[in-house]
Structures are given as structure tokens and as C-alpha cells.
């Protein structure tokens, strides 16, 4: 491997290139699922590959592959494309460059998943299945365990040489329950998941999430419909995560700003929310969205997006940082080594506030408490969004009331930000998910507090 890297580096150094970087990635993952108490699927996937990015004058070429015998051809291809682009494009292009970094780091784990046999992984998911076997309303149950080890190497023209080994583990459930309601069979589903950079030890935490799913899927069977309208709203940490990630976060990505596709363009320094609102995107730590270095060799860091309600800045890759004349924020990420790094979020959250959950509930006369997320979508240019909660509860006269189903929240990013009037006093671990952008999907999370909106447009029946 070393010889191959040296050969390519020599070739790239000889060419008249302003910036280059080479990435190598080896990934090994195992996945075990159960369906109604039986092992449903066991699978393993191994992948490897490389990518070479070249900046020649004002042109960027990017070539990838997984046949190492072809790597020199790929380097030549990348340079050829960069030269062709330079000839065809009159616009100035650049990639932020800094001092070299040499580092070698790996996820600290208690129990390395590579030391755990597939039998033990099977045993864990079967234990999960057994845990719910006496639940009378369950129509079906599915449990999943998944781990992946990514070994990444990064080299660039600054002289950086970075190696990192990341261990991702997650486990979760998907429960389907049914019951006869007014003579008709009602079917409801609820899913939960735990995941972060960790070892097999994380599996112990999953049972408390299963308890939560059992409780909620049963509540959903008795849940009522809600009349659509404007309500005071409390969002749980997972729904807050979806709002902060989808509605605010994407609009703060510098490439979206540069495309003219963000409602937050030219809004830095503007007051968007009350003083209590502080928002960060962070790559440090062992969350599902964390790493040591991004896919452009920039160290993981905490990036402030909103401070005391004022928009402070955007998230950057090396390329957008060069364009905006700022330092990159460690947000240059790619799904696999085959994809070019673009601006992506990590762990995006509202900093905790001072309010107790009970006080937030008791402050509401007629409102809705919305929990979890079934996903959502946002139009970053117009700043409009729609998110569906997994379930909710009515709030009447300061108390939590009946459970409700099929509720959604929609509105505009700027209105919703300005409507945040209370923030919970602790942040909870969010739902480990994958964010899709530009055909690439990367692990992200948001560890957020409960928030209260003075008004929210809630969709129901």
C-alpha cells in the first residue's frame, strides 16, 4: 500500500497542480436482523476504494475506483479532467490549504466489534426479540444490529498524512401492533434506535429504547386524530433535531448558500431568534455524526451557527471556505471514498436552556406535545418545511392529555426560529439517522433539548 501511495504522490507532485488529495477507504460491516423472533437475515459487506482530487489552475478533477492496479490511470484521469475543466471554465476556483497534519487515531471502545463473533451478535438480537414476546398487541417485531469499521487514509499536497479507524454500532427495533377499534383493525408502528461511535458495549442500552417503543406503539393504538390548526407546540428532542437539521442546518451549508438556494443567504449578523437560542453543529466526540477528521483532512470541531439568536456563520468544506475567505469548519464529508466531499452536518443541536419540562407543559393552555419523527422535507430556498411526528399528546390547561396520531408540523424556518420561547434544561441523545444530499448519505444526529414554540402549524385530520 505504501509503495502505491508513494508512486501516486510522486506523479502528482511532478505535475503543475495547485492542490491534490488522495483518500483510501476500507470498510467492513456486519448486519443481523430478526423478524418475529427468528433470525431473518445475516449479511456482511466488505468494500475498498480510493479517490484522487486534483486542482489544476481553475479546474477540479475527481477520479475514483476500487481496482488498485488502475490507480495511476485514475490519477491521470483526474488531472486530465481538471485541465479540461480549466480550459472550459472562466471562473476562479480554489481549495483552502493550511499547515500539514500527521495523525493516527481510532475510536475508543470497551469491546471491539471485531472481537465479537457473529453468534454473539445473533444472541443479542434474539434476546431483543424475546424481550417483547409476551406483548399481546404486537403483530410483528423486527430487531436490527449493525456494525461497521471504516479505516480511512488521507494524504494531500500540504503534506498531511492522516489515518483514522472509526467503529460505528447501532441497534434498534421496529414494532407493529394492531387492535380492533370500532370494528376495524387499526395497525400502528413505532421504531427506535441507538447508535454512535462505539463498541459492542452499546447494545446494553438498547433495551430501554425497546421499552419506549412498546409503550408508544400501544399508546398509538388508542390515539385519536387531531384537528389541523395553529397550536402552542412542544417538540421532543428528536423532532427538535429534525427541525434544526432540516430547516436550519441545510440552509446554513455554504454550498447551498453559494447555489442561491438558501433562505439564510446574506443573513449573517441578523437576529433570527430570541436571545435564548444558540445552535451548533459539532463533529467532536463519539456521537453518530462524529469523526476525528473530515474527508478533507480537517479536524473535527464545534461550529457556532446561531449565538444569542444571531446568525453567526455557515458550515464549510475546503472549497467553500476558499470561496468565502474563511477557515473550513470540518464539514467536508462524503458517503464513501467514491464520492466527492461536500458540506454536510454532523451533530446539530440547540444548546440546552433553563426550562424544566414540567414548566414547559404547565405554561400551555391548549397545545400539542409532538414526539419523534417519521421524517420530513424542506425547501431551503423558500425556507418552508413539513415534518411528521411519530405521535403526540394534547396539552390542555397545563397537563398532558390524550395521545394523538398522524400529526405533522409545517411552516417556515424563520417564523419557527422566532417562535422558540422555551428551551429544556438538558439535551438528550437523538435518533441516529442518515442524511441524504447530492446523492450521498452520511450518518448524522442531533442531541437536542425539548423546545416550546409559541405557535406552530400542526397538521392532523
Residue ranges in 149-208 that form contacts with another protein under rule CB under 8 A: 176, 186-187, 189
Residue 46 found at the interface with another protein (CB under 8 A) = yes
Work out which of 19, 62, 155, 292 binds another protein, going by CB under 8 A: 62
Q: Does 408 bind another protein (CB under 8 A)?
A: yes
| Nearer to another protein among residue 60 and residue 361 (C-beta) | 60
Give min distance, CB of 396 to another protein, in A.
23
Asked if 254 is part of the footprint of another protein (rule: CB under 8 A), the reply reads no
Question: Does residue 338 belong to the site contacting another protein (CB under 8 A)?
Answer: yes
Does 94 participate in binding another protein (rule CB under 8 A)?
Answer: no
Cβ at position 169, least distance to another protein in Å: 18
397 lies in the site for another protein, by CB under 8 A: no
Min dist. Cβ of residue 64 to another protein (A): 5
Say whether residue 230 binds another protein (CB under 8 A): no
Q: Considering the rule CB under 8 A, would residue 410 count as an interface residue with another protein? A: yes
> Quick check: 221 binds another protein (CB under 8 A)?
no
**Residues 269-328 close enough to bind another protein by CB under 8 A:** none
The residue within the footprint of another protein, chosen from 110, 134, 260, 269 (CB under 8 A), is 260
Is residue 386 within the footprint of another protein (CB under 8 A)? yes
| Cell digits of residue 138 | 404486537
Nearer to another protein, 42 or 105 (CB): 42
Q: State the nearest-atom distance from the C-beta of 84 to another protein, in Å.
A: 5
Residue 352 φ/ψ, nearest 5 degrees: -60, 155
Interatomic CA distance for residues 125 and 378, integer angstroms: 35
User: Taking CB under 8 A as the rule, does residue 350 contact another protein?
Assistant: no
SS3 string, the chain, reads CHHHHHHHHHHHHHCCCCEEEEEEEEEEEEEEEEECCEEEEEEEEEEEEEEEEEEECCEEEEEEECCHHHHHHHHHHHHHHHHHHHHHCCCCCCCCCCCCCEEEEECCCCCCHHHCCHHHHHHHHHHHHHHCCCCCCEEEEEEEEEEEEEEEEEEECCCCEEEEEEEEEEEEEEEEEEEEECCEEEEEEEEEEEEEECCHHHHHHHHHHHHHHHHHHHHHHCCECCCCEEEEEEECHHHHHHHHHHHHHHHHEHHHHHCCCCCCCCCCCCECCCCCCCEEEECCCCCCCCCCECCCCCECCEEEEEECCEECCCECCHHHHHHHCCCCCCCEECCCCCCCCEECCCEEEECCCCECHHHHHHCCCEEEEEECCCCEEEECCCCEEEEECCEEEEEECCEEEEEECCCEEEEEHHHHHHCEEEEECCCECCCCEEEEECCEEEEEECCECCEEEEEEEEECC
Give the interface size with another protein as a residue count (CB under 8 A): 76
* Residue 35 binds another protein, judged by CB under 8 A: yes
| For another protein, the closer CB: 122 or 312 | 122
Q: Which stretch binds another protein (CB under 8 A): 111-119, 160-168, 308-316, 422-430?
A: 111-119
- Kindly state the smallest distance separating residue 128's Cβ from another protein, in Å: 15
Does 88 participate in binding another protein (rule CB under 8 A)? Answer: yes
105 binds another protein (CB under 8 A): no
Is residue 406 involved in binding another protein (CB under 8 A)?
yes
Closest to another protein by CB, 61 or 199: 61
User: How far is residue 318's CA from residue 342's CA, in Å, rounded to a whole number?
Assistant: 9
Only segment of 84-92, 97-105, 165-173, 442-450 that touches another protein (CB under 8 A): 84-92
Our finding on whether 388 is near another protein (CB under 8 A) is yes
Does the footprint of another protein cover residue 381 (CB under 8 A)? yes
Q: CB of 106: closest distance to another protein in angstroms?
A: 22
Amino acid at each position: 500500500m505504501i509503495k502505491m501511495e508513494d508512486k501516486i504522490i510522486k506523479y502528482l507532485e511532478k505535475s503543475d497542480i495547485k492542490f491534490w488529495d488522495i483518500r483510501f477507504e476500507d470498510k467492513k460491516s456486519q448486519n443481523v436482523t430478526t423478524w418475529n423472533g427468528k433470525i431473518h437475515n445475516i449479511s456482511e459487506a466488505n468494500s475498498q476504494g480510493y479517490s484522487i482530487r486534483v486542482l489544476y489552475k481553475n479546474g477540479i478533477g475527481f477520479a475514483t475506483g476500487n481496482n488498485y492496479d488502475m490507480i495511476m490511470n485514475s490519477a491521470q484521469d483526474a488531472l486530465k479532467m481538471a485541465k479540461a475543466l480549466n480550459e472550459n471554465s472562466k471562473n476562479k476556483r480554489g481549495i483552502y490549504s493550511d499547515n500539514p497534519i500527521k495523525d493516527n487515531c481510532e475510536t475508543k471502545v470497551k469491546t471491539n466489534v471485531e472481537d465479537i463473533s457473529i453468534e454473539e451478535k445473533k444472541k443479542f438480537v434474539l434476546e431483543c426479540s424475546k424481550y417483547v414476546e409476551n406483548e399481546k398487541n404486537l403483530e410483528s417485531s423486527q430487531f436490527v444490529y449493525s456494525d461497521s469499521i471504516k479505516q480511512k487514509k488521507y494524504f494531500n499536497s500540504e503534506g498531511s498524512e492522516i489515518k483514522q479507524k472509526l467503529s460505528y454500532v447501532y441497534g434498534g427495533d421496529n414494532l407493529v401492533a394492531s387492535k380492533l377499534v370500532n370494528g376495524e383493525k387499526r395497525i400502528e408502528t413505532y421504531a427506535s434506535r441507538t447508535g454512535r461511535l462505539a463498541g459492542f458495549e452499546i447494545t446494553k442500552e438498547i433495551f430501554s429504547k425497546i421499552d419506549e417503543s412498546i409503550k408508544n406503539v400501544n399508546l398509538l393504538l388508542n390515539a385519536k386524530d387531531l384537528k389541523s390548526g395553529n397550536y402552542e407546540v412542544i417538540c421532543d428532542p428528536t423532532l427538535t433535531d429534525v427541525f434544526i437539521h432540516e430547516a436550519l442546518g441545510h440552509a446554513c451549508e455554504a454550498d447551498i448558500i453559494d447555489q442561491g438556494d438558501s433562505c439564510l443567504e446574506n443573513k449573517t449578523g441578523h437576529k433570527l431568534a430570541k436571545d435564548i437560542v444558540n445552535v451548533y453543529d459539532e463533529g467532536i466526540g463519539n456521537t453518530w455524526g462524529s469523526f476525528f477528521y473530515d474527508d478533507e483532512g480537517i479536524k473535527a470541531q464545534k461550529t457556532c451557527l446561531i449565538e444569542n439568536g444571531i446568525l453567526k456563520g455557515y458550515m464549510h468544506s475546503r472549497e467553500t471556505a476558499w470561496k468565502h475567505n474563511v477557515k473550513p469548519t470540518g464539514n467536508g464529508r462524503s458517503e464513501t471514498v467514491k464520492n466527492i466531499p461536500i458540506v454536510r452536518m454532523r451533530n446539530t443541536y440547540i444548546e440546552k436552556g433553563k426550562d424544566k419540562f414540567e414548566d414547559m407543559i404547565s405554561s400551555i393552555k391548549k397545545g400539542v406535545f409532538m414526539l419523534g419523527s417519521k421524517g420530513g422535507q424542506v425547501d431551503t430556498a423558500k425556507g418552508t418545511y413539513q415534518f411528521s411526528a411519530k405521535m403526540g399528546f394534547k396539552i390542555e390547561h397545563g397537563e398532558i392529555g390524550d395521545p394523538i396520531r398522524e400529526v405533522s408540523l409545517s411552516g417556515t424556518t424563520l417564523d419557527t426560529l422566532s417562535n422558540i420561547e422555551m428551551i429544556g434544561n438538558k439535551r438528550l441523545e437523538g435518533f441516529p439517522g442518515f442524511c441524504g444530499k447530492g446523492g450521498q448519505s452520511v450518518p448524522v444526529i442531533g442531541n437536542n433539548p425539548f423546545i416550546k414554540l409559541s405557535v406552530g402549524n400542526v397538521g392532523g385530520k
